[in-house]
Structures are given as C-alpha cells and as structure tokens.
C-alpha cells in the first residue's frame, strides 16, 4: 500500500510503498477514509532534532484519522468489519491513572506503553496511508449515525483539542462572559464553533488575515479584530474595560501571549494551545489577579465521543479542503505559506 512517511527529522516526507498491516490480538486495522494534515506535522518536518522526543522516524504521518474497520485482531468483539470509526490519536500506556480514564495525552508512564510513542502519526504509523494499524481497540471510536469519516477525521484533533480547552473553562462562560480566540486558523475557527454550540459566551476572534476573520464570522464570532497595535484597545472597549473571561491562544507566540495577558479579566483563564514557543513573563503585578495560565494538549477519549456527537448534529464542522494522497505535499506547502483556510484532509 502507499504511505506518506517521514524518514528522518528535518526532511520532507516521502510517498512510498509499504506492506499492508495485519492486526494482532486486541488490534484493529482501519481502512482510512480521511487523514487530517496538522500544523504540528510541519514542526515534525522542520524543527525537531534527534533526542528531542522519546521516539524518532521513520513513521507514517497522520494523527487525525477516520475510516472503516477493515480487519479485527483476536479478542476484539465490540467492533465489526465495515463499521465507520474514528481513531483516538493519543496512545498511552493504558494502565496509569490518566490512561484508565481515557486521558492518554497525559500518560504518566509513557515508557511503559507497549510501543512508546506519541501515537499514530507521532512515532508510530498514522493514517496517511490506505490502512492504519491501531495497536489497541480501545482507541477506535464508532462514528455516530450520519457522520462521514472524511468529515470526522479533523474532529479527532482540530475538534478535540479546542473542545478540551473550552470545556475546562465552561464554568466561566455564562451569559455576560467574553472569550477571545487568538488565531482563527485550523483549530481556532473550530474553537469558535464549539464556543457557540456549548456556551453562552460572547466570542471575539483575532487574526492577522482578513480571510481568517471572515471565516470566524461565518462560524459565529460576535466580533472580529485584526491583530495589531490597537487590538488590545479594541477588545477592552468591546468588553466595557473588563476584559475577557477566557483567552484561547491558538498561536502561542510572544506577541499573542502578551495580547492575551493584556486583555484578560481578573479571575480569568489564559489557555495556551498553540506551540509557537513564545514565553509569557508572570509576576504578581504582571497579570490580572487570579488569572490562571495553562497549556493544554489534545483531549480525552470521552471528550472525543462528545465532539463526534456535535459533528453528527452539524453543530461543529471544520472548513476543509480535500487532497489525494499523492497531493499531500502540496497541502503542507499551502499550510506553510498560509494560503490554506481551515483544515486539509488527505483522502487516500
């Protein structure tokens, strides 16, 4: 079968022929319907050095995957061949306290995993291929009625990641609250939809690109603000000088972190989702009183079930552009140059 593989750090992936996988006990082979191309893949290609992560190439890219059950290993009884499914992408040890409740991204014993990795497409073979081997059936989630695998694929990360970030702050998002979404790109525009579908908060979207701000408006943003020197002032004016109850930074650069801290309200959350490696100085008088600053990574398996339900009901639908497997490199190039709006989905 064909697969798009990263063969070494700081290199372009290659489309090559590899053997079709066969499931072992408690494993599942999924025929891929769609595999999302994520901006974090660009970090894998261009930034990481050997030893940065506990796993290394070669591996097949693609950690946002959905399709149909193709083959079942011995002992898998809750799935059937041909069933439409999504793949929960973070694969932890399965035995620590975090993994037992489905929060594999925060696995506390990654070295104890059967095959240490970050998951499919992150150290182990992912979904940018005709088939993906899932090493434990617990990572395979049946799709709700009416949700196509191509549409479901980006929900496994571009939907799940902002959903987790929003969900942890639901208690702050009552009527009268404000949320600022910094970066209305691949994750941010989905974050706007999730906020509008699950909370009563007012949403202000910030981005450098006019087309991204238009997309945020289409997704339900109440106000859009171009990023720049006057962005903080505009947000403060729009909130009556109070600031935002939640700031979701989907960029994570120095400038966006400064903006987030400058528009946050007292007793607010500043949640850093983007991995642009910015830093935020924190001191007693440097941030609003009781503003909590946290990073989040992906989400839990139970949360994925909730996201897929929102997708099936049409409440959350990422803007996608489809690419054939042989055109996947073109999708990444468009991501690099900033000309891709929303998410790219590779359809083998």
255 is written with which tokens?
Answer: 């400038």
Average pLDDT value for residue range 203-209:
97
The pLDDT assigned to 111 comes to: 80
What's the pLDDT at 118?
A: 86
* Percent with pLDDT over 70 in the chain: 99
CA angle 110/161/179 to nearest 5° reads 135
Confidence category of residue 144, pLDDT binned at 50, 70, 90: very high
Domains of the chain, each with CATH number or no CATH:
2-157+299-347 (3.90.180.10), 160-295 (3.40.50.720)
pLDDT at 53: 83
| Mean pLDDT calculated for residue range 3-20 | 96
Strands (E), the chain: 2-6, 14-17, 28-37, 59-60, 64-72, 84-87, 119-120, 123-124, 131-134, 140-142, 178-182, 202-207, 223-226, 244-249, 264-272, 292-295, 320-324, 343-347
pLDDT on residue 51: 84
Q: Which two tokens stand for residue 123?
A: 């150290």
- pLDDT score, position 52: 83
CA pair distance 279, 265, nearest whole angstrom:
20
pLDDT at 233: 98
The predicted pLDDT at position 267 comes to: 98
What pLDDT, on the 0 to 100 scale, is given for residue 117? 81
């Amino acid at each position: 079968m064909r697969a798009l593989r990263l063969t070494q750090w700081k290199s372009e992936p290659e489309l090559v022929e590899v053997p079709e996988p066969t499931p072992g006990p408690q494993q599942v082979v999924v025929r891929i319907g769609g595999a999302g191309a994520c901006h974090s893949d660009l970090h894998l290609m261009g930034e990481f050095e050997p030893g940065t992560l506990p796993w290394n190439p070669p591996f097949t890219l693609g950690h946002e995957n959905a399709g149909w059950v193709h083959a079942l290993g011995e002992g898998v009884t809750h799935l059937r061949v041909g069933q439409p499914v999504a793949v929960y992408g973070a694969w932890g040890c399965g035995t620590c306290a975090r993994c037992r409740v489905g929060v594999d991204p925060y696995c506390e014993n990654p070295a104890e995993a059967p095959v240490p990795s970050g998951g499919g497409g992150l150290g182990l073979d992912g979904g940018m291929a005709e088939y993906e081997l899932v090493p434990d059936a617990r990572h395979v989630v049946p799709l709700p009625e009416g949700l196509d695998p191509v549409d479901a694929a980006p929900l496994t990360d571009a939907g799940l990641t902002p959903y987790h970030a929003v969900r942890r702050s639901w208690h702050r998002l009552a009527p009268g609250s404000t949320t600022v979404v910094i970066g209305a790109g691949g994750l941010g525009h989905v974050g706007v939809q999730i906020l509008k579908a699950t909370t009563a908060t007012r949403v202000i979207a910030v981005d450098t690109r006019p087309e991204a701000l238009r997309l945020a408006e289409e997704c339900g943003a109440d106000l859009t603000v171009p990023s720049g020197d006057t962005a903080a002032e505009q947000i403060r004016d729009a909130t009556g000088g109070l600031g935002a109850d939640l700031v979701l930074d989907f960029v994570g650069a120095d400038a966006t972190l400064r903006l987030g801290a400058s528009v946050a309200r007292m007793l607010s959350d500043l949640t850093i989702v983007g991995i642009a490696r910015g830093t935020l100085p924190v001191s007693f008088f440097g941030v609003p009183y009781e503003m909590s600053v946290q990073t989040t990574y992906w989400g839990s398996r139970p949360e994925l079930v909730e996201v897929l339900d929102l997708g099936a009901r049409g409440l959350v639908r990422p803007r996608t552009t489809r690419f054939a497997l042989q055109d996947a490199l073109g999708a990444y190039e468009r991501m690099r140059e900033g000309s891709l709006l929303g998410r790219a989905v590779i359809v083998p």
